[in-house]
C-alpha cells in the first residue's frame, strides 16, 4: 500500500510540474507575440516612431477603436489614423496566421502593458470580432 502511495505522489508531482510549465509559458505568450510581430515597428516600450508609426503606449486609439483591433492585427491596415491627436499614415501589415487564442493573448498584453490599463478581451469576444471583420 505504501508503494502505491509513493507512485501516486510521484505521478501527481510530475503532472503538477508539467501543468505549471504549460500555464507559465502561456502566461507570457502575449509578450512573446508582441516582441515577434509588433516590437520592430512600435518599439519595445510601445512608443512607436515619431511621426511615422503610432504609439501603442498610452494610446487613446486602443480604447476608441477597441472592436476594430483584432481585425487590424489579423488583416493589417492602410490609410490615415489619429492617435493621441497625431495623424499617422503608414501601412501596417497583418498577421493572417495568428490563431484566435494567440490574438487574445497579444491584445491583452497590449491593453494591460506599455502604460495601458484598458479592459481585457475574452476569447469569445475576439472570435466574434474577427468573424465580423470587413472582407478584403
What distance in Å separates the CA atoms of residue 121 and residue 125, rounded to the nearest whole number? 6
Q: Do the domain assignments include residue 85?
A: yes
Q: How many domains does the chain have?
A: 1
Confirm whether 118 is domain-assigned: yes
pLDDT band at 18 (very low <50, low <70, confident <90, very high): very low
Per-residue model confidence as pLDDT tens digits over 88-122: 999 999 999 999 999 999 999 999 999 999 999 99
Phi, psi dihedral angles at 59 (to 5 degrees): -90, 125
Looking at residue 19, its pLDDT comes to 45
Domain range enclosing 78 = 29-131
* Closest alpha carbon to 67 in 116, 135, 134, 115: 134
pLDDT-derived band at 33 (thresholds 50, 70, 90) equals very high
Give, as one character, the DSSP assignment of residue 59.
-
Q: Is residue 79 part of a domain?
A: yes
Here the CATH number for the domain that contains residue 62 is 1.10.760.10
Amino acid at each position: 500500500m505504501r508503494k502505491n502511495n509513493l507512485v501516486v505522489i510521484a505521478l501527481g508531482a510530475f503532472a503538477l510540474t508539467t501543468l505549471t510549465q504549460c500555464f507559465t509559458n502561456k502566461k507570457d505568450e502575449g509578450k512573446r507575440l508582441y516582441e515577434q510581430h509588433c516590437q520592430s515597428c512600435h518599439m519595445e516600450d510601445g512608443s512607436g516612431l515619431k511621426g511615422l508609426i503610432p504609439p501603442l503606449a498610452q494610446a487613446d486609439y486602443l480604447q476608441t477603436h477597441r472592436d476594430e483591433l483584432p481585425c487590424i492585427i489579423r488583416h493589417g491596415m492602410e490609410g490615415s489614423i489619429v492617435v493621441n491627436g497625431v495623424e499617422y499614415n503608414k501601412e501596417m501589415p497583418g498577421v493572417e496566421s495568428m490563431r484566435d487564442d494567440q490574438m487574445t493573448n497579444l491584445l491583452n498584453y497590449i491593453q494591460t502593458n506599455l502604460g495601458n490599463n484598458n479592459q481585457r478581451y475574452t476569447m469569445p469576444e475576439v472570435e466574434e470580432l474577427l468573424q465580423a471583420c470587413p472582407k478584403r
